[in-house]
Amino acid sequence: MPEGDTIRRLADRLHRHVSGRTIARSVFRHNRYATRDLAGLRIDVVDAAGKHLLMRLSAEGRRPITIHSHLRMSGRWSIGLPPRTPPWRRRIELWLPDAKPLVGIDLPVLDVGPTADEHRWVGHLGPDLCATSFDGDLAVANLRAAGSVPLGGALLDQRNLAGIGNLYAVELPFMAGVSPWFPSGRVDGLEHLVAVARALLPVNAELGPQTTTGNARRGRTHWIYGRRGRPCPRCSTALQVARESDVPWGRVTTWCPRCQPGPDAVDHAHVDPERLRRLVAGHRLVARALGRSGQHGPRHSRSG
């Protein structure tokens, strides 16, 4: 599933392509919207809220409308008709004069409704890691309030903070030296972990590629995510992997039992700021963003 930085990047790319253009013809292959016609509406903004994509449309004398989508595991947006994708998988097509159409493919979540009601789709989200303003104190308080929920699950709960998918839910606890199994409410120093997330996601969203190590080389972009059966890059202990079905938060989870001692081994978990600082140092733009801003990253959001 794409992370918040990937969706932010997608929103920016779509915005550059379509903003200010008026829809000439729309096609929905969706039972709820099959007869809906968006022709005549101008695409004002393509924005992201956490992992949700919001396309805001308006026209003189009509109330503003938002197209909301969430890609989950399968969905994607394409600029231009994708070859080899049969029409029935193209849930929505927005045809624009003098431009390639925007096509939403296999979208598991697709809604159309008044812009004034966007909160129905995104009102539950916690502070958004890729938004212009970010309330880090609130994100930390939410993670603490998650109490007995293991840190990995608390990070993935978009109500606590928005934008983290499984990649960062594995990488951030490793970088912090905390077990993803440790109850979130009993982890000290979460403000350091949140500050790194707040630097990491916006930098990756703006510049890409999506890397936690700062290394863009294939196979080197992440510390432990997807490295099952490999030694820990810090201490060489064999990494542990739990399958989705064995994890309460339902995602494949990787951790180093030595760098990230579990709740059975220690009473209390502490985010290790020194370890975080060392591991972030290789990602120079992130290290710089951290040094510069603390709570405020470099992103610009079009959210109103």
3-state secondary structure of 271: coil
DSSP alpha helices (H): ranges in 135-283? 136-145, 151-156, 166-176, 190-207, 273-280
3-state secondary structure of 165: coil
Closest separation between CB of residue 155 and Zn ion, Å? 19
Please confirm, yes or no, whether 51 is among the known catalytic residues: yes
8, 56, 90, 251: the catalytic one is 251
Q: Using an 8 Å Cβ cutoff, are 93 and 101 in contact? A: yes
In this chain, which stretch among 1-9, 47-55, 259-267, 282-290 interacts with Zn ion, using CB under 5 A? 259-267
Please confirm, yes or no, whether 206 is among the known catalytic residues: no
Closest separation between CB of residue 234 and Zn ion, Å? 4
Q: Output the 3-class SS for 79-128.
A: ECCCCCCCHHHEEEEEECCCCCCEEEECCCEEEEEEHHHCHHHHCCCCCE
Closest separation between CB of residue 22 and Zn ion, Å? 55
105 binds Zn ion, rule: CB under 5 A:
no
| Nearer Cβ to Zn ion (235/265) | 235
Please confirm, yes or no, whether 76 is among the known catalytic residues: no
| Nearer Cβ to Zn ion (232/290) | 232
Other CB atoms within 10 A of residue 107 CB = 24
Cα–Cα distance measured from residue 120 to residue 143, given in angstroms and rounded to the nearest whole number: 23
Closest separation between CB of residue 299 and Zn ion, Å? 31
| Nearer Cβ to Zn ion (77/255) | 255
Site string for Zn ion, 235-254 (x = CB under 5 A): x-x-----------------
Other CB atoms within 10 A of residue 10 CB = 18
Please list the active-site residues.
Answer: 2-3, 51, 251
- Residues making contact with Zn ion (CB under 5 A): 232, 234-235, 237, 256, 258-259
